[in-house]
Amino acid sequence: MTLKSKNRQKEILARSARLFRKKGYAATSIRDIADAVGMKSASLYNHIKSKQDILQRLLLPIAKIYVTSIDRVNDSNLPAIKKLEQIIRDQIIITIENPDAVSLVPDQWFFLENNEAEKNNAYDAYIQLRNYYEKIFLKIFQEAIDEGDLKPVHIEIACFSILSTLRRLYSWFARHRTIDQKILEQELIMNLLGGLRT
Amino acid sequence: MTLKSKNRQKEILARSARLFRKKGYAATSIRDIADAVGMKSASLYNHIKSKQDILQRLLLPIAKIYVTSIDRVNDSNLPAIKKLEQIIRDQIIITIENPDAVSLVPDQWFFLENNEAEKNNAYDAYIQLRNYYEKIFLKIFQEAIDEGDLKPVHIEIACFSILSTLRRLYSWFARHRTIDQKILEQELIMNLLGGLRT
DNA sequence: GTCTATATGCTGATAGAC
DNA sequence: GTCTATCAGCATATAGAC
């Protein structure tokens, strides 16, 4: 594979991410993508296997970025409450660095297909990554309670609430790009964790 | 219009809402809806004008329910902080009573069409209702700060955070239907407002 | 690696029999 | 008010010339 074709693939993925974000996977056609890249739809197939292939090559890497990020925090020696703060900071950074790919996480993952015949279980693979992330998040949250830094709340409600906000951050950020990142971090940490501290 | 045909229409709307929730508007076909109702797709058109018509008749009423609800709270004589608590409670009730319609609010509104030629500006009408809701919400939030009950935070971040969680509540609730509603209210009020109180 | 041409199937919606 | 039959358009994807 040449460098040029790799760049072409990257461009196709980036343009697709933007279109999927704007219109949704189902409402975005291969022709839409071809137009955005500047070629005919048939030519796209020299670079990608299928429309589904594009979605998978957007969602699975971003899901792995999230998992890698929470693993690193989890392996650190910080107190659990500091780990939670770092997880929020990391999510903000991931969102700012990959806004289009991140935008697919709340909604478009559902269009991943589970083709068992071809051992192409992108749907299952994605769900597994997401569940793993949430499991670690819940575990750290419980530790912060055990360590006396958070109130003994219903952890599933609290984690749902925190993750709902972080998953939607991309859309807020699109409308407020000029905000200082440090202020955003401080405010979100206060919003999301402040009510739960002892 | 007979009672029977009204019931039929209600059933079509309810089945459609469930399908739009599960698969998304774009990925749900008229044939899917017809199958779910138990008739042929052509017969559907005796009850509804178009697929778009269904979406509009789901989203605009639920948007109006939200607006009516916040108007009533806003008109009350409660202190602003108590108004915010009531808004959260109201959103929980609306979500529990209309889970399928509410599920369309975060994502499927984008598929509303703006047909200016036919003065059928469902998209604009919806956006207007949503903007109105957010404007009132922000106003009450600012009042709670002015009344000394909330910290002088960046209100747009705080309101985004609170509304993100409330809009996603339907999906959490689907997985935890047995939770006591009072506990859910208490926990969410603590999660969403606790960190911001003076 | 891009193109034109095309295969095949599904889409929303309509016409008209009953 | 439901059906069968059908339309025109667009979907994903492929074949093969250049």
Say if residue B5 is in the same domain as residue B42.
yes
Predicted local distance difference test score (pLDDT) of residue B115: 78
From the candidates B29, B111, B161, which should be mutated to test the interface with A, based on the most A CB atoms within 10 A?
A: B161
Domain match, B38 and B123 both: no
Q: Give me the residue label for tokens 């402040």.
A: A194
Q: Identify the domain boundary among A48, A63, A81.
A: A48
pLDDT for B44: 98
pLDDT-derived band at A15 (thresholds 50, 70, 90) equals very high
- In angstroms, rounded to a whole number, what is the distance separating the alpha carbons of residues A193 and A166? 12
B48 C-beta less than 7 Å away from strand D: no
Averaged pLDDT of chain B: 96
Query: Do A44 and A123 share a structural domain?
Result: no
Q: Tell me how crowded residue B152 is: count the other CB atoms within 10 A of its CB.
A: 11
What's the predicted TM-score (pTM) here? Answer: 0.96
* pLDDT of amino acid A124: 96
User: Residues A27, A118: one domain?
Assistant: no
CA pair distance A198, B19, nearest whole angstrom: 43
A33 and A100 housed in the same domain? no
| Domain co-membership, B56 together with B124 | yes
Q: Is the dihedral of CA B155, B156, B159, B164 positive or negative?
A: negative
B75 confidence band (pLDDT: 50, 70, 90): very high
> CATH number, domain at A7?
1.10.10.60
What is the C-alpha to C-alpha distance for residues A33 and A41, in angstroms, rounded to an integer?
8
Q: Which range marks the domain in which residue B93 is found?
A: 50-196
CA/C1' separation B43–C18 (Å)? 14
Confidence band for B114, pLDDT divided at 50, 70 and 90: confident
Regarding whether B31 and B5 lie in a shared domain, the answer is yes
| Token reading at B10 | 């209600």
Tokens 């793993």 appear where? A132
Give A105's contacts in chain B (Cβ within 8 Å). Answer: none
B15 and B85, same domain (yes or no): no
One domain for residues B131 and B87: yes
Let me know whether A77 and A117 are in one domain: yes
Tell me the percentage of chain A whose pLDDT exceeds 90.
Answer: 92
Query: Which pLDDT score is estimated for A114?
Result: 85
Least confident among A90-99, A110-119, B70-79:
A110-119
Tens of pLDDT, residues A26-72: 999 999 999 999 999 999 999 999 999 999 999 999 999 999 999 99
Confidence check: pLDDT of B1 > 70: no
Q: Are residues B5 and B71 in the same domain?
A: no
Indicate the range of A3-12, A50-59, A75-84, B181-190 predicted with least confidence: A3-12
- Smallest CA-to-CA distance from B137 within B150, B118, B111, B156 is with B156
Q: How far is A5 from chain B (nearest CA, A)?
A: 32
CB A19 within 8 A of CB A28: yes
CATH number for the domain harbouring residue A101: 1.10.357.10
Mark whether A23 and A85 lie in a shared domain. no
Per-residue confidence at A140, pLDDT binned at 50, 70, 90?
Answer: very high
pLDDT at B5 over 80: no
Q: Tell me how far the alpha carbon of residue A77 is from its chain's centroid.
A: 25
Percent of chain B whose pLDDT exceeds 70: 95
Range B15-33 average pLDDT = 98
pLDDT reading at A115 higher than 80 = no
Counting the structural domains of chain B, the total is 2
According to the model, what pLDDT value does residue A2 have? 63
Distance CA B147, CA A167 (A): 31
Question: If you average pLDDT over every residue of chain A, what do you get?
Answer: 96
> Taking Cα atoms as reference points, which of B169, B156, B146, B141 lies closest to residue B74?
B141
Closest CA to A106 of A133, A138, A130: A130
